[in-house]
Amino acid sequence: MLVYLGITIGSKSLTRAFADKFRRCPPISDLIDYFTTNFTFILGYTWDHIKLVGSAIIIAILIGVPLGIYCSVNRYAASTILQIASIMMTIPSLALFGIMIPVLSLINEGIGTLPAVIALVLYSQLPIIRNTYTAISNVDPDIRDAANGIGLTTFQRLFKVELPNAMPLIMAGIRTATVLNIGVGAIATLIGAGGLGGIIYQGILRTNNTMILAGAISVAILALIADLFLRLIENLFTPKGVKK
């Protein structure tokens, strides 16, 4: 009984000490020193993160936008496809990465970039499909009638009329998916995919608050830059008449 109490008290003391260490916020000078000293190191992790998220988003767009367009012309399939995409979003990211390991181990790709990319593609589908479906469905019927009136085919109407008018909402879905994946991609370091999550994970292992905060700030800055970049692309491809 005394041994049990000693172990319990010792465990509580260790947990309290560990929590107290994490509770201390590092001074700004430590963060600045860390960024300046490890700039090349952080840049390498950032580039790995960009490659991981960028490849996943490109694949997700190639899958999600056509699916969203298909949903807009087939309302019966739309509910099923959106429900499946919604279910994917409810799976915890760490669990989804874990599911990929035994499945892809069959082709010797259980850990690394491939399972992370697949998981991020699945997470991206809901905002891209839903926004594409909503945007195409809500194009003004008068505009469609005008396009039909001048003899445009279905594909010509889609690419010359519907997609340009739907571009702001489609891009909003892509921006949402990108920012989401930048955050979730940080967890992919646990399965060997690299990226900025490596800084955070190393900080946790070393109980180094400066590293943890530096990694979190780097992820946030990358998300802001990505959102700004996609907003510029949106402005570039959106017709002047559609811009507010």
Is the whole model's pTM more than 0.85, yes or no?
A: no
DSSP string, the chain: -HHHHHHHHHHHHHHHHHHHHHHSPPPHHHHHHHHHHTHHHHHHHHHHHHHHHHHHHHHHHHHHHHHHHHHHH-HHHHHHHHHHHHHHHHS-HHHHHHHHHHHHGGGT-SSSHHHHHHHHHHHHHHHHHHHHHHHHHTS-HHHHHHHHHTT--HHHHIIIIIHHHHHHHHHHHHHHHHHHHHHHHGGGGGGT--STHHHHHHHHHTT-HHHHHHHHHHHHHHHHHHHHHHHHHHHHHS-TTT--
Mean pLDDT by 10 residues, the chain (244 residues): 39 50 62 81 90 92 92 84 87 80 74 83 91 86 76 77 84 92 86 82 84 88 92 80 60
Decide if domain 29-237 falls under CATH 3.60.15.10: no
Other CB atoms within 10 A of residue 140 CB = 11
DSSP string, 131-198: HHHHHHHTS-HHHHHHHHHTT--HHHHIIIIIHHHHHHHHHHHHHHHHHHHHHHHGGGGGGT--STHH
User: Can you say how many angstroms the Cα of residue 123 is from the centroid of all Cα atoms in its chain?
Assistant: 7
pLDDT at 15: 52
pLDDT at 222: 93
pLDDT at 175: 92
